[in-house]
Copies of this chain bind each other. A is one copy, B any other.
């Protein structure tokens, strides 16, 4: 990938999170990235296309980071589930954290026919499914149910952290996750 395209993606990711997607014009993006609109439109067919690529890159980065962390730090399936929120906390509280793209994107594009909304919704579903697979491997009966509950806590905590950095929400989110996992394991 061209280094300019990559730079545009990084800058757009940051601006979308800190100023909002619809409030960020392409002129601002190219100015911060140190390039011009012509170059942006050679790498991306439209602003919507740019938004979609930003979302996809963000989700891929998160997913690969998380599964890498889990597979190298936890052997048994039940360990993975237990350590899930440890790593999520690490991700959320890291200085590079810029929020989860799909949470904001779905708020700014509520129309279900919108491609941005559809991708956001799909990413949310993918993440829930990933948690569900971890729960299944840990022999939890209602894996989908637990996955939904954990994803609610996760999305709530990310939102709280987006609303106010250093809210400390992750600390209690972790505790809540542990209680719910333990409860699901003994049932």
Binding site for B on A (CB under 8 A): 17-20, 22-23, 103-104, 106-111, 120-121, 124, 145, 148-149, 151-157, 159-160, 162-164, 169, 172-173, 175-176, 179-180, 183
Contacts and interface: CB of A to CB of B under 8 A. Distances in A.
Contacts of A152: 152-153, 156-157, 160, 169, 172-173, 176
Given A124-B163, A169-B152, A22 B19 contact: no
B22 A108 contact: yes
Nearest to A144: B172
Nearest to A152: B156
A143 B169 CA distance: 14
Given A121-B164, A151-B156, 12 more contacts: A20-B110, A107-B108, A107-B159, A124-B163, A148-B169, A149-B153, A149-B173, A149-B175, A152-B160, A155-B156, A179-B179, A179-B180
A175 B103 contact: no
A152 to B, nearest CB: 3
A164 B163 CA distance: 22
Given A153-B156, A156-B156, A179-B183, A106 B163 contact: yes
Nearest to A17: B110
Contact of A156 (B120, B154, B180, B183): B154
B120 A163 contact: yes
A172 B155 contact: no
Nearest to A117: B163
A101 to B, nearest CB: 11
Nearest to A183: B179
Contacts of A20: 22, 107-110
